[in-house]
Structure 1
Amino acid sequence: MKSIQYFNFQNSLSALNFYEKHLGATNINRLGGDDKMFDDMPDDYQIDKDFTMHASFEILGETFYCSDTWKNKSIDNTGAIVAFTFDASNTADKERAEEFFNRAVAGGCEVTMPLGKTEWSEFYGMFNDPYGVTWMVNAE
Structure 2
Amino acid sequence: MRAIQYFNFRNSLAALNFYEKHLGATNIRRVGGDDPRFQDMPDEYKVDDDFTMHASFEIMGETFYCSDTYKHRKIDNSGAIVSLTFNYEDEADRQRAIDFYGRAIEGGCEVSIPLGETAWSKLYGIFNDPFGVTWMINAE
What TM-score do you get using the length of structure 2 for normalisation?
A: 0.99
Secondary structure of 2:100's counterpart equals: helix
> How many angstroms apart in 2 are the aligned matches of 1:63 and 1:25?
9
Aligned letter for 1:60? M
Secondary structure of 1:111's counterpart equals: strand
> How many angstroms apart in 1 are the aligned matches of 2:59 and 2:8?
17
Aligned letter for 1:2? R
1:42 Cα deviation after fit: 0.8
1:87 Cα deviation after fit: 1.2
> How many angstroms apart in 2 are the aligned matches of 1:48 and 1:58?
25
1:88 Cα deviation after fit: 1.3
1:38-57 to 2 correspondence within 5 Å?
A: 38-57=38-57
* 2:84 corresponds to 1:84: yes
Give CA deviations for 1:23-54 in whole Å, capped at 9, x if unaligned: 00000000000100111111111110000000
> How many angstroms apart in 1 are the aligned matches of 2:6 and 2:126?
20
1:90 Cα deviation after fit: 0.7
Give CA deviations for 1:89-124 in whole Å, capped at 9, x if unaligned: 011011000110000000000000001100000000
Let me know the Cα RMSD of the aligned residues: 0.5
* Identity rate, percent: 69
Aligned length: 140
Secondary structure of 1:101's counterpart equals: helix
Unaligned segments of structure 2, at least 5 residues = none
> How many angstroms apart in 2 are the aligned matches of 1:13 and 1:6?
15
> How many angstroms apart in 2 are the aligned matches of 1:42 and 1:139?
50
1:8 Cα deviation after fit: 0.2
Aligned letter for 2:74? S
